[in-house]
Amino acid sequence: MNHIGSLEPSSRQPLSKKLKKWKYICPTIARKMSSLGEYKMFGVLRAAKGDAQSVFDSLHRALAMIEFDMFGRVISANSNFCALLDYDPSDIIGQHYSMFVEPEYSRSADYAEFWKKLGRGEFEAGQYKLIGRGGKGVWTQSTYSPIRNSRGDAVKVVNILTDITPYMTKSNDLEKTINAISRAQAVVEFTASGEIITANANFLNLMGYNLDEIKGRPHHIFVDATYAASQEYFNFWSKLRRGESVTEEFKRIGKDGHVVWLQASYNPIFDADDNITKIVQFSTDITSRALATESISRNISQLTKNLGATFASMKQIAAVIAEITRSPQRQVGGLCQAKTTIDLMDQMTRQNVAMVEAAVASGVKLEVDTIANLIGPFDTRDRGSGPVDTPVVSLEESTVVRLRPSRAASTPDPDDRRGRGGGPAATLAFPSRKDRS
């Protein structure tokens, strides 16, 4: 029989029963068993107490800690806490914990409820702003743990905290930046699959919705059905789901079907694991500018047509003048026809000038290159080989063309059936621009 093993307090038979058994067999052995059991028991307690103290010491070295009673009076504070708030222990021991919070908060209902929860022994944790020496604000991530006595009553509170001021400062700056953007732009947020999460007032007013009408609905309620079913729209969302930002001018449809043009940027937002959590759209209303651009495009298109017609008229004039030079007998009729064509050109020129003035008045600048490109197709000059054979006619505002009979034909010929006799001089006067107007 192994007597040594049977003396261990950890054996299956309880120590009290063993002592009772050996008390009658051998009182000396019973006394040894009792002392050995007492040693084992208190050795375990001392070891457990030592481990707890080691853990507590590690927390003291790494974190800021302060203890206060259930009335809020400071019992103790470690060096990390004092350094964080720039106090000496003698400055705070015995003082009320409210010295570390803003006066307005210490008088609030939230602060009163905070202490009621601690009085009931409830654990509290969160982000709290404490006030150090000289009004220095320190943001902390804090836990408040009530400590109970053997009867279960809360006797003190241990506050363990870490400084998160740099994080809160950065977060606050970011929040202010986002708020500033939200005041100036239309902002809407979507899930990665395209459902609407939220939208600011600017976006809702622009599109004619309230938030309840669009929250949870798909993005394609803002586009026409044809575009929503297109490959282009599919590719648009594919890029966003790959984490790519998209910035363009977009045509969108409001609640009552009105068209809204947006200069917008769609930006995927990632979490710490680089997963897309949402997509944020920042946009500016450019509807007025887009409509003005469309109007100018129409005017330029019409101007192009008019320039084409003008070029055709110029060709007709060139042909008429060429015919005049070949057939003196048709001079009068040809010049009349030329006058009619020139009047038509003058009318078309006035229309073109009016359209250009309208384009300028709309606030959009017409580039010189754009106009040159429009007029280029009507330029009859051959830049490589010099001027072509088409005669160039320069008509001054007060030009008067007088046709006189030749000296050889000064005597009337009774047989001349075409009437080329020496009658009075035929005169055709081109009206000046002032006269035409």
Spatial contact of 341 and 313, defined as CB atoms under 8 Å apart:
yes
Predicted structure pTM score: 0.50
Q: Are strands 154-163 and 137-148 parallel, antiparallel or unpaired?
A: antiparallel
pLDDT of 152: 87
Strand ranges (DSSP E) for 271-418? Answer: 276-285, 400-403
CATH code for the domain defined by 63-169:
3.30.450.20
pLDDT of 50: 64
Q: Is the pLDDT higher at 295 or at 268? A: 268
Would you call 69 helix, strand, or coil by DSSP? strand
Which single residue is written with the structure tokens 């708030």? 85
Q: Is the pLDDT of residue 187 over 70?
A: yes
Q: Is the pLDDT of residue 405 over 90?
A: no
pLDDT of 85: 94
- CB hemisphere CA count around 311 (13 angstroms): 14
Q: Is the pLDDT of residue 228 over 70?
A: yes
Residue 419 binned pLDDT confidence (cut-offs 50, 70, 90) = very low
Topology adopted by domain 185-285: Beta-Lactamase (3.30.450)
Which of 299, 290, 292, 293 has the alpha carbon at shortest distance from 371? 299
Q: Is the pLDDT higher at 78 or at 414? A: 78
Q: What is the pLDDT of residues 50-107, one digit of tens each?
A: 677 787 778 778 899 999 999 999 999 999 999 999 999 999 999 999 999 999 999 9
Which of 194, 187, 181, 244 has the alpha carbon at shortest distance from 221? 194
Q: b/e for 370-397, b at 16 or more Cβ within 10 A?
A: eeeebeeeeeeeeeeeeeeeeeeeeeee
Q: Classify residue 423 by burial, with Cβ atoms within 10 Å: 0-12, 13-18, 19+.
A: exposed
